[in-house]
Structure 1
Amino acid sequence: PTGATVDLTRMLAAVWESVLDVPVGDDDNFFELGGNSLLAIRLAAAMRERDLPALPLRELYLHPTVRGLARVLGHE
């Protein structure tokens, strides 16, 4: 992973933790941690507020881990 991807991974994990209110590891699944469609929308809004890349909700369903999502969003 590049330095930018590592930074994005850390920032995403922090946002996930604030939305889900649980500790989050890079390979934890958003939905297995208690995430649902409403929390996914909150996650997208929280990412916007922090000037992180836009989160198409489809990508969260396709890549439900911090590491997977960072990899995808880091290439857009």
Structure 2
Amino acid sequence: MIAESYDLVTDSPTKRIYEAVKRIPKGHVATYGKIAEMAGEPRMARAVGNALHKNPDPEHIPCFRVVNAKGELAG
């Protein structure tokens, strides 16, 4: 069911955000701004936070690897 709902989102900023987060290697982190840039939306760091808050598949989309500009986990 999760995969089906994820596949329904075709080429949207949200799907590009999820794909960018999947590319963060194990043992590394990226900022919300960097993920926005990787997703082709460099001025939408807040959208990254919103998308990750609604992460449909945390097992495969490692949102815990995304940190704020200070390098800390955000609430």
Q: Could you tell me the TM-score, scaled by structure 2's length?
A: 0.33
Higher relative contact order (CA 8 A, sep 6+): 1
More helix by share: 1
